[in-house]
């Protein structure tokens, strides 16, 4: 049964609205002041709050609204007043009020406002659950000093509108950090829109970012809303921003500076209010010096730089992360969690984790699937970890990659034509990159320092099956 909190200093209002809502099947809680309303929410969060604007005492309605946003960010708050003007309604809306009802209240108005607020509440819960299932639920696991530093930075920068550049190796959780910044900001109720800059073909970047009008180009059969418009009043997360080409960098810079865009094929200027959070696993300073990334765009994006530590520097968090991912597996599959023996956990603790948290999550899930509810031993862990033996081998022993390339070169020393030899060598190098990238063509393209369309063309020409590699 949904719980509705009524905070109003007039007993008659509380009694009448309470009776109306009780008759419709709601559970009602009443308080005569803002201070008591805050205390009631701390004891147990209701589903909706109706708050009078003109309450006397330590906290009036506006102050109560502000405190409620702090203690219960997801709680929909409906403001009520008989003497408020347009300015008060606008201010309440800016502070996060879901709706504003004028007194005398009507039964239809109250019921419609509460029903809509409950729908919003449920939508937020579903969205949070989906994001958590996808691994982007805003929960950062770990109490190491490195993670505490990241949390402190997020707490300081989230309430601002400053642009943030998140830097870190692949798999460290940059999107999770971006999501946490959004959730801690005043834009938390607005969209969080993600763009994987590395996955967009270069000739479609402008359409993807800014949208296009119908007929703007061949195949544009209908108008498309771009990511900037979708993120209006919310947050736009530019993942792998270092992979944008020169033309896309110039257009992105203009959109950030002008705070306006134009759809491809359109003439109308569209104003946008978007907070930009970017992420990269590249050294953008080096890219600026090399001339592959615009210096002016770099300075626009990195108003606040935020470095995410790799997992090998967070050894104290391994055990907690293992438990977290085991619990996630339980929630998704319903199968029993495995039990981790101390020798297995120690092996995980000592492993260098080149794939960072993403690799650890995959390993934990793999072992949970292979041994549901069983005891995981050190041998089980050794069987699935890709242990780098190169460090244990003599200096003269070639690495695995060097050996494969050497084998390809040796195989090329036959009577084949130069073209055949080059194709054979290129096939080996691309297959190796695809294997390291787990079949992800975009990731393989970054490893080979080329663009994805070019790599696709080469894969097709050489007859490589990326999914089977």
**Residue 161's pLDDT is what?**
92
Q: 221 and 320: one domain?
A: no
> Of the given ranges (157-161, 257-261, 439-443), which has the lowest mean pLDDT?
439-443
Most confidently modeled of 224-233, 328-337, 417-426, 447-456?
Answer: 224-233
Nearest to 96 by CA among 26, 32, 187: 187
For the stretch 129-139, pLDDT in tens is 555 555 444 56
**Are 82 and 115 members of one domain?**
yes
**Are 38 and 67 in contact, with CB atoms under 8 Å apart?**
yes
Report the CATH number at residue 273. 3.40.50.300
* 133, part of any domain: no
Structure tokens given for 417: 């034509």
163 and 303 belong to one structural domain: yes
Q: Are 174 and 241 contained in the same domain?
A: yes
Sign of the Cα torsion 394, 396, 398, 399 reads positive
Rounded Cα distance between 264 and 243, Å, is 21
Q: What share of the chain is helix, strand, coil (3-state, %, to 5)?
A: 50, 15, 35
pTM: 0.59
Q: Identify whether residues 171 and 304 lie together within a single domain.
A: yes
Per-residue pLDDT reduced to its tens digit, 264-276: 888 888 899 999 9
Q: In this structure, what token pair is assigned to residue 210?
A: 């800014």
- Residue 379 belongs to domain with CATH number: 1.10.8.60
The count of other CB atoms within 10 Å of the CB of residue 58 is 10
Same domain for 157 and 304, yes or no, is yes
Closest Cα to residue 164, out of 357, 307, 309, 291? 307
Tokens of 53: 């604007």
- Domain presence at residue 53: yes
Q: What is the pLDDT of residues 8-21, one digit of tens each?
A: 999 999 999 999 99
Domain match, 223 and 294 both: yes
The answer to the question of residue 369 being in a domain is yes
Closest to 278 measured CA to CA, from 248, 258, 310: 248
- Is 80 exceeded by the pLDDT of residue 412? no
CATH code of 22's domain: 3.40.50.2300
Task: Tell me: do 342 and 198 sit in the same domain.
Answer: no
Digit-coded pLDDT (tens) for 281-290: 989 999 999 9
Select from 308, 339, 362 the last residue of a domain.
Answer: 308
Is 142 inside a domain boundary? no
Residue 143 lies in a domain: no
pLDDT of residue 24: 92
Domain count, the chain: 4
Amino acid 417: pLDDT = 61
Residue-wise DSSP of 425-457: HHHHHHHHHHHHTTT-HHHHHHHTTS-HHHHHH
Q: With a cut of 80, say whether residue 61 has pLDDT above it.
A: yes
Tell me how far apart the alpha carbons of residues 135 and 361 are, in angstroms, rounded to a whole number.
10
Distance of CA 214 to the CA centre of its chain: 30
The answer to whether position 140 is within a domain reads no
Give dist(CA 221, CA 338) in Å, integer.
51
Instruction: Please check whether residue 134 lies inside any domain of the structure.
Output: no
User: 3-class DSSP state for residue 77?
Assistant: strand
193 and 299 belong to one structural domain: yes
Q: Over 50: is that where the pLDDT of 390 sits?
A: no
The reported pLDDT for the residue numbered 143 is 86
Confidence at residue 127, expressed as pLDDT on a 0 to 100 scale: 65
Residues 177 and 281 in one domain: yes
Within this chain, do residues 297 and 158 fall inside the same structural domain, yes or no?
yes
Summarize pLDDT for 309-360 with one digit per residue, the tens: 999 998 889 999 999 888 888 877 778 888 999 999 999 998 888 889 989 9
Domain with 425 in it = 400-462
Residue 284 lies in a domain: yes
- pLDDT at position 333: 78
């Amino acid at each position: 049964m949904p719980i509705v909190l009524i905070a109003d200093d007039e007993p008659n209002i509380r009694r009448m609205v309470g009776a109306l809502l009780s008759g419709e099947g709601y559970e009602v809680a009443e308080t005569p002041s803002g201070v008591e309303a805050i205390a009631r929410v701390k004891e147990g969060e209701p589903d909706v709050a109706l708050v009078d604007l003109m309450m006397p005492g330590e906290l009036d309605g506006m102050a109560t609204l502000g405190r409620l946003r702090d203690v219960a960010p997801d709680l929909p708050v409906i403001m009520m007043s008989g003497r408020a003007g347009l300015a008060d309604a606008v201010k309440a809306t800016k502070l996060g009020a879901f709706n504003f009802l004028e007194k005398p209240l009507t039964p239809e108005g109250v019921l419609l406002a509460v029903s809509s607020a409950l729908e919003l509440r449920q939508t937020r819960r579903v969205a949070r659950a989906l994001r958590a299932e996808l691994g982007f639920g805003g929960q950062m696991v770990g109490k190491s000093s490195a993670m505490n530093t990241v949390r402190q930075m997020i707490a300081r920068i989230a309430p601002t509108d400053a642009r943030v550049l998140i830097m870190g190796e692949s798999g460290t959780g940059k999107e999770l950090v971006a999501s946490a910044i959004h959730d801690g900001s005043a834009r938390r109720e607005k969209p969080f829109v993600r763009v994987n800059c590395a996955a967009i073909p270069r000739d479609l970047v402008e359409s993807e970012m800014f949208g296009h009008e119908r007929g703007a180009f061949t195949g544009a059969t209908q108008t498309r809303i771009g990511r900037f418009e979708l993120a209006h009043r919310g947050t736009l997360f530019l993942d792998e921003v270092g992979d944008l080409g020169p033309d896309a960098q110039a257009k992105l810079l203009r959109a950030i500076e002008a705070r306006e865009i134009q759809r491809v094929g359109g003439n109308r200027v569209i104003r946008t209010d978007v907070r930009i959070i970017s992420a990269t696993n590249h050294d953008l300073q080096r890219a600026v010096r090399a001339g592959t990334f615009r210096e002016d765009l770099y300075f626009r994006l990195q108003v606040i730089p935020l470095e995410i530590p790799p997992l090998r520097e967070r050894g104290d968090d391994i055990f907690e992360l293992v438990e977290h991912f085991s619990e996630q597996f339980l929630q998704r599959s319903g199968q029993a969690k495995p039990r981790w023996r101390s020798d297995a956990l120690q092996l995980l603790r000592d492993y260098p984790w080149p794939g960072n948290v993403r690799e650890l999550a995959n390993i934990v899930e793999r072992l949970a699937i292979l041994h549901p509810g069983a005891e995981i031993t050190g041998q089980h862990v050794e069987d699935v970890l890709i242990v780098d033996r190169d460090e244990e081998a003599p200096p003269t022993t070639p690495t695995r990659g060097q050996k494969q390339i050497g084998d390809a070169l040796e195989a090329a020393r036959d009577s084949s034509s130069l073209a055949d030899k080059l194709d054979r060598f290129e096939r080996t190098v691309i297959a190796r990159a695809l294997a390291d990238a787990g079949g992800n063509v975009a990731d393989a393209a970054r490893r080979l320092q080329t663009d994805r369309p070019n790599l696709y063309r080469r894969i097709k020409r050489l007859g490589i099956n990326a999914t089977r590699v």
